[in-house]
Amino acid sequence: MDKLSIEGGVRLEGEVCISGAKNSVLPILAATLLTDDACIIKGVPELRDANTMIKILRSLGKNAEFEKGVVTVTAGKSNNFVADYKLVSTMRASFCVLGPLLGKLKKAKVSLPGGCVIGIRPVDLHLKGIRALGADINIESGYVTAKATRLKGAHIYLGGVYGSSVLATDNVMMAAILADGKTVIECAACEPEVVDLAEFLIKMGAKIKGHGTPVIEIEGVRHLHGASHTIIPDRIETATFMIASLITQGNITIKNACVGHLGAVIDKLEEAGASISITDNSLKVRFKKQLNAVNITTLPYPGFPTDAQAQIMALMSVTRGISVITEKIYPDRFMHVAELNRMGAHIQREGPHAIVDGVNGLSGAPVMASDLRASACLVLAGLAAKGKTSISRIYHLERGYENLEDKLQRLGARIWREKE
């Protein structure tokens, strides 16, 4: 098993190009189950999660080829409606095959994904929406089995304890595409990745309105055809490199960035004192002077993204003043706090809040990644720290960042892999 080693203290400079969005790729690949025609998905990043979804498609009877950022999905010799535990358990997002399998085959058997280190994330909203469309659902031996002779449109409210759910919105939207009549999803997730999925479905022949708003309307159709689609840029990778520039007092130009998806991140970084220049599809992020602490509250889009919470905490840990970071999406998503404190940060956890008292600098240390975004947080901390930082369990990083190590090296970072 590999670990990442970083010799910190290097100012990052240069250009970096953002990859396709992980959180768009996965449901869009799942949506190819809705048709027997060929689908071509472009701009697919080389990620562990993308490869897992391709394996799931193959296990369900599809032919799926991945080459140079392009996934081509065609019909296989048979259709399988069972998504096996061995694959689904490795990646929560794979549960979104439930909707398209049920919509196309009228039956599906999908392993429950279980919880993870950032907290339990139940699938109750998924099942609520699928049931509302007329499916008969049973849970047994760790699997959700759903059946329906014919799905029927319904008015569905998908609000949960912590607001809307991206994956539940995706799942219900895909199940409703081939249902009879009209479906209205209230409290739908508004994230750009949901919009990207809807745009792909529309290219396939779906009739969808309101995507990107809290109310999505779907008029069921009888058949979907194949389509070609290019994945949107990854806004979380973009936010990570913006913070990398600031935490190293650097000057990075970020290419292939969708600025319109980053309003909350840009607002908070500018409030902290960052210099950010914006063009149509790029950002120049420059450390201009000493930054100031800012308070952060994660919220559903267009609020500050929970997937960038850990990264901005790394920045606040070396920023003058006290900041309070409140996690309203996954209140237990603070596994990185202990590891940052090992590096010399002063962070105190109080329920869904982290109180960060900025220090003058961090010290390199051996640390352990607990999840995808915590991994990115520790890389950022290592880039800023004095001395050597070694990060174990970097397979988490490979789930969501394409060639992160190479991209950072091209910006001047001293970062390399070593065997554990």
Residue type, 397: L
SS3 at position 41: strand
Q: Could you tell me if 418 and 391 are in contact, meaning their C-beta atoms sit under 8 angstroms apart?
A: no
Select from 69, 36, 75 the least CA-distant residue to 51.
69
Closest CA to 83 of 111, 48, 53, 114: 111
The 10 Å CB-count burial string (b at 16+, else e) for 131-140 is ebbbbebeee
Q: Give dist(CA 261, CA 228) in Å, integer.
A: 22
- Check whether the bond before 302 is cis (ω within 30° of 0): yes
Strands (E), 141-231: 143-147, 155-157, 182-186, 207-209, 215-219, 228-230
CA distance 68 to 288: 38
Catalytic residues: 116
Q: Which residues, including other chains, have CB under 8 Å from residue 350's CB and lie 6 or more apart?
A: none
Under DSSP, the state recorded for 51 is H
Taking the mean position of all CA atoms in its chain, how far away is CA 410?
24
What is the number of H-type helices and E-type strands within the chain? 14, 24
Token pair in block for residue 366: 């051996």
